[in-house]
Amino acid sequence: MTADTRQGTAQLSSDLRGFREVQRLSYECAEAVAAQLRPGVTEREAARMQREWLRERGVRDWFHLPFAWFGDRTAFADFKIPLQFFPTNRKLEPGMPFILDMAPVHKGYAADIGYSGSLGLNPVQDRLMSDLRVHRELILDQVRERRPLREIYENVERLMTRQGYANRHRAYPFGVIAHKVDRVRERRWSPTAFGFGTQSLKGLASDALHGHREGWSPLWSPYRFSDHPPQPGLWAVEPHLGFRGTGAKFEEILVVTDSRDPGESAFWLDDDLPHVRRWAEEKAA
Amino acid sequence: MSGMSGTFGEQDGITRAGLAGAGLAGARERRVSTGGIDLCVVELGEAERPTVVLVHGYPDSKEVWSEVAQRLAARFHVVLYDVRGHGRSTAPVPLRGGFTLEKLTDDFLAVADAVSPDRPVHLVGHDWGSVQGWEFATVARTEGRIASFTSISGPSLDHFGHWIKKRMSRPTPRRAAQLLGQGAKSWYVYMLHTPVLPELAWRGPLGKRWPRMLERVEKVPSGSYPTASLPSDAAHGAWLYRDNVRPRMRRPRTDAYAHVPVQLITPTGDAFLSERLYDDLELWAPDLLRRTLPAKHWVPRTRPDQLAAWITEFVTAREEPAARAPEQKAPGKYADRFGGQLVLVTGAASGIGRATAFAFAEAGARVVCVDRDAEGAARTADMARLVGAPEAWGECVDVSDEQAMEELAAKTAAEYGIVDVLVNNAGIGLSGPFLETSSQDWKKVLDVNLWGVIHGCRIFGRQMAERGQGGHIVNTASAAAYLPSKTLPAYSTSKAAVLMLSECLRAELASRSIGVSAICPGIVNTNITATSRFAGVDAAEEKRRQERSSRLYGLRNFPPEKVAEAILRAVVRNEAVVPVTPESKGALWMSRFAPRALRRLAQLEPRL
Q: How far apart are alpha carbons B546 and B551 in whole angstroms? A: 9
DSSP character string of A197-240? EHHHHHHHHHHHHHHHHHT--SEE-SSGGG-SPPPSEEEEE--E
Residue B287 has pLDDT above 70, yes or no: yes
SS3 A248: strand
Average pLDDT over every residue of A241-268: 93
Say whether B386 and A123 touch across the interface (CB within 8 A): yes
Q: Are strands B262-267 and B121-126 parallel, antiparallel or unpaired?
A: unpaired
Residue A92 has what DSSP assignment? P
Angle between helices B402-415 and B452-467 (to 10 degrees): 30
DSSP strand pairing (B121-126 vs B146-152): parallel
| CA-based nearest distance B580→chain A, Å | 18
Residues of A at the B interface (Cβ-Cβ below 8 Å)?
123-124, 127, 158, 161-164, 166, 170, 222, 243-244
**Inter-chain residue contact B386 with A127, CB threshold 8 Å:** yes
Answer positive or negative: Cα dihedral of A248, A132, A159, A103.
Answer: positive
User: Any chain A CB within 8 A of the CB of B554?
Assistant: yes
Domains in chain A, start-ordered, CATH in brackets? Answer: 3-284 (3.90.230.10)
Q: What is the pLDDT of residue B12?
A: 44
Confidence of residue B2 (pLDDT cuts 50, 70, 90): very low
pTM: 0.90
Average pLDDT over residues A131-139: 96
pLDDT in tens, B497-555: 999 999 999 999 999 999 999 999 999 988 888 889 998 899 999 999 998 898 888 88
Do residues B421 and B448 touch, judged by C-beta distance below 8 A? no
Cβ contact B350–A166 (<8 Å): no
d(C-alpha A112, C-alpha A102), whole Å: 6
The answer to whether the CB atoms of A162 and B376 lie below 8 A apart is yes
Say whether pLDDT at A2 is over 70.
no
Please state, as a whole number, how many other Cβ atoms lie within 10 Å of the Cβ of residue B489: 22
Report the candidate in A98, A111, A101 with the shortest Cα–Cα distance to residue A25: A111
CB–CB contact B383 A164 (8 Å):
yes
- Separation CA B206–CA B213 (nearest Å): 9
Mutate to test the interface with A, among B352, B386, B527, B565 (most CBs of A within 10 A): B386
- Residue of B151 and B2 predicted with greater confidence: B151
- Residue B82's pLDDT is 96
**Interface test mutation site (partner A, options B383, B544, B563, max chain A beta carbons within 10 A):** B383
Contacts of B381 in chain A (CB under 8 A): none
Residues in chain A within 8 Å Cβ distance of B386: 123-124, 127
Interface membership of B410 toward A (CB under 8 Å): no
Q: What is the pLDDT of residue B15?
A: 53
Task: Identify which of A158, A164, A222 has the shortest CB distance to residue B354.
Answer: A164
pLDDT at B32 over 60: yes
For residue range A211-234, list pLDDT tens digits in order.
888 989 999 999 989 999 999 999
- How much is the ipTM here? 0.86
Rounded mean pLDDT of A131-149?
A: 96
Query: Nearest Cα to B305, choosing from B514, B153, B464, B462?
Result: B464
**pLDDT tens readout for residues B40-84:** 999 999 999 999 999 999 999 999 999 999 999 999 999 999 999
pLDDT band at B20 (very low <50, low <70, confident <90, very high): low
CB contacts of B376 in chain A (<8 Å) are 162
Query: B540 - beta bridge partners?
Result: none
pLDDT tens, residue by residue, B378-428: 999 999 999 999 999 999 999 999 999 999 999 999 999 999 999 999 999
pLDDT at A6: 52
Are A222 and B554 inside 8 Å of each other by CB? yes
Greatest extent of chain B over all pairs of C-alpha atoms, in Å: 100
A96-134 pLDDT, tens digit per residue, is 999 999 999 999 999 999 999 999 989 999 999 999 999
Residue A97 near residue A116 (C-beta atoms within 8 A): yes
Q: What is the mean pLDDT of the segment spanning B464-492?
A: 95
Contacts of A170 in chain B (CB under 8 A): 557
Contact status of B328 with chain A (Cβ, < 8 Å): no
Residues B163-169: what's their mean pLDDT? 93
- For the stretch B96-125, pLDDT in tens is 999 999 999 999 999 999 999 999 999 999
A265 in Cβ contact with A274 (< 8 Å): no
Closest-CA distance, A218 to chain B, in angstroms, reads 22
Say whether B380 and A164 touch across the interface (CB within 8 A): yes
Q: Do B554 and A162 touch (CB under 8 A)?
A: no
What is the rounded average pLDDT for all residues in chain B?
A: 91
Q: Is the CB of A124 less than 8 angstroms away from the CB of B561?
A: no
> Is the pLDDT at B266 greater than 80, yes or no?
yes
Averaged over B459-482, what is the pLDDT? 96
Q: What is the pLDDT of residue B322?
A: 66
How far is residue B395's CA from residue B401's CA, in Å, rounded to a whole number?
A: 14
Catalytic residue, from B81, B241, B491, B553: name it: B491
Give per-residue pLDDT as tens, B290-312. 999 999 999 999 999 999 999 99
Q: Which domains does chain B have, with CATH numbers?
A: 2-329 (3.40.50.1820), 338-602 (3.40.50.720)
Query: Which residues of chain B have a CB within 8 Å of the CB of A163?
Result: 379
Q: Residue A206 and residue B121: Cα distance in Å, rounded?
A: 76
Q: What was the pLDDT predicted at A285?
A: 79
- Considering chain B, what percentage of its residues have pLDDT values greater than 70? 95
When CB atoms are compared, the residue of B350, B386, B561 closest to A161 is: B350
Is position B491 annotated as part of the catalytic site? yes
On chain B, the residues whose CB falls within 8 A of the CB of A123 are 386
| Confidence category of residue A82, pLDDT binned at 50, 70, 90 | confident
pLDDT of residue B11: 42
CA A278, chain centre distance (Å) = 17
- Find how far residue A148's CA is from the centre of its chain: 20
Three-state SS letters, B149-197 = EEEECCCCHHHHHHHHHHHHHCCCHHHHHHHHHHHHHCHHHHHHCCCCH
Residue B1 — very low, low, confident or very high, per pLDDT cuts 50/70/90? very low
pLDDT tens for B558-597 read 999 999 999 999 999 999 999 999 999 999 999 999 999 9
B324-374 pLDDT per residue, tens: 554 455 677 899 999 999 999 999 999 999 999 999 999 999 999 999 999
DSSP assignments along B404-452, one per residue = HHHHHHHHHHHHT---SEEEE-----EES-GGG--HHHHHHHHIIIIIH
